[in-house]
Chains A and B, each alone.
Chain A
Amino acid sequence: MRHLLSAADLDRQEIIEILDLAEEMAQVLHRPIKKLPALRGRTVVNLFFEDSTRTRSSFEIAGKWLSADVINISAKGSSVSKGESLRDTVLTVAAMGVDALVIRHQASGAPAQAAQWIDAQVVNAGDGMHEHPTQALLDAFTMRRHFRGRAGEDGDGPTDFTGRTVASVGDITHSRVARSNALLLRTLGAEVIMVAPPTLLPSGIDSWPVEVRTDLDSVLERADIVMMLRVQRERMSGGYFPTPREYTVGYGLTRDRLARLRPEAAICHPGPMNRGLEISADAADAANSLVLDQVAAGVAVRMSVLYQLLGGADEDADHARATSATVKETIR
């Protein structure tokens, strides 16, 4: 595998391989020694231009449990705050002989751009309103476990999502999670419904392979999974909905709506949750809430992705030398 920039990069087989390997990796969580030697001598840099707790820390833990050296660089406290460009920062980090760069950036397409500048592997850890493929993978991992039944660890259950319906509810416009999920879940064969107020549906959603609804109550009884998206206050410059209270009434997973879900349906939320806004405390803490399972899956899925990217021989045997050569070339 080369880079992970978009959920659309992965075909069904590749997704299933990543999820199956993540199941193996998940066993490490229960071991006395949480360490596998597979990525010894590899270096992974987390380059985060935007705030993050769970994505950054789970990539860090994933790399460390696979024995890679992991370094975190965030925009605050780095030369980025002195005005260094994305390109210079990426080239500088790559010049240190890094094997993989995990990038989060507020601009859509930044990781894809970076992948063209350097030879190291690039993982998109969330770019603007575009994509967040590892989140989609860990959501699929969590949903698949739910579908298989938590008991069936040896996983004889379905490996695809044919006949399953997943409803993503909320701020679709600003949600990279919604976009990556739609792509990945469609590849796996699920039906995807996007539910949002008309103001929070992105232009061009007609071309997405999904069903679009503006009325949450009409889809509650159809969904196997209800994915509640965070209302991104930091991206809301107003005007998307009148008041938080009205948003909750129209699109929140309230106690009433919780009661109307199908008995075997489950609730997901990529976090961090705004309790009382898009999701009620009852729903967040319900027995069929998978929110904490999603967090736990994050490490295993990212271990799987890092192994797929870095576990084998370099595609180019002269990888390291080539990298530093190109970097010198481009900097000049």
Chain B
Amino acid sequence: MSDRASDAATAASRVVMDAEQIARACARMAHQLLEANRGADGLVLLGIPTRGVPLAERLANAIEAVEGVRVPVGALDITLYRDDLRQNPTRAVGHTRLPVELDDAIVVLVDDVLYSGRTVRAALDALGDLGRPRAVRLAVLVDRGHRQLPIRADHVGKNLPTASSERVQVRLAELDGVNEVTITREVAQPSETEGDVG
């Protein structure tokens, strides 16, 4: 009884993945990536800012632990490719850093949450201007459903059924000082304005 009371007091936010579960999910995705790719050859991990970047770094660490190879890691900011620029005040642009040429690489896009699919659409457009990868894969820590475009992830840390009125938040130690994924039941709009929710 007392538990339920305190839950209600904390605005109905609950942890759906803790630090250990996130670490295990990353390790599993790294294995899956290597299995699907038959090794680390040609892999390039590109994190989508903000939280895709440390996640890509973690996947690279996990791959290195298994395979003993350091795959190139970079960042791909998609702000200038968004389809909602005109709906919002001018957005800050993040940092793009390509560790190697993308021509003929197996690019793995890494993001924290897959939602509408619009971020990934923008990332694919951005990639098209940067080179011609042999293949593009998508790895996300959380797939929360509600796609608005025909896009799916190749590797998913956790499938998380949600209502679109809920808010999924990924916190990573590198940026937020804590590793956890939470769901908050809010009246907040399914956040087209949230940079990380895509």
Contact = CB atoms under 8 A, between A and B. Distances in A.
Given A24-B93, A24-B95, A312-B91, A32 B85 contact: no
State the 6 A-B residue pairs at the shortest beta-carbon distance, nearest first.
Answer: A312-B90, A38-B80, A33-B129, A311-B90, A36-B80, A312-B89
Given A31-B130, A36-B80, A37-B125, A21 B93 contact: yes
Contacts of B131: 32
Contacts of A33: 128-130
A308 B79 CA distance: 13
A314 B89 CA distance: 8
Contacts of A38: 79-81, 85
A314 B81 CA distance: 18
A313 interface: yes
Contacts of B88: 312-313
Contacts of B80: 36-38, 66, 307
Contacts of A312: 85-86, 88-91
If over half of A's interface residues share one DSSP class (helix, strand or loop), that class is named, otherwise mixed; here it is loop
Contacts of B125: 37
A11 interface: no
A155 B125 CA distance: 27
A12 to B, nearest CB: 16
A36 B96 contact: no
B112 interface: no
A326 B128 CA distance: 42
Contact of B129 (A1, A17, A35, A308): A35
A311 B96 contact: no
B10 interface: no
Contacts of A27: 96
Residue in B85, B93, B96 with the greatest tally of chain A CB atoms within 10 Å: B93
Interface in A4-25: 17, 21, 24
B148 interface: no
A27 B130 CA distance: 11
Contacts of B91: 311-312
Interface string B80-114: 11000111111111111100000000000000000
A17 B92 contact: yes
A324 B105 CA distance: 50
A298 B79 CA distance: 22
Given A24-B77, A36-B80, A313 B89 contact: yes
Nearest to B86: A313
A307 B130 contact: no
Interface string A158-194: 0000000000000000000000000000000000000
Contacts of A32: 129-131
B129 to A, nearest CB: 4
Nearest to A315: B89
B95 A313 contact: no
B73 to A, nearest CB: 14
A38 B126 CA distance: 11
Interface string A304-332: 00011001111000000000000000000
Interface in A34-53: 35-38
Residue in B77, B85, B95, B130 with the greatest tally of chain A CB atoms within 10 Å: B85
Interface in B56-73: none
A32 B133 CA distance: 13
B81 A36 contact: yes
B128 to A, nearest CB: 8
Given A24-B96, A36-B80, A311 B129 contact: no
B90 A308 contact: yes
A1 B90 contact: yes
A190 B131 CA distance: 41
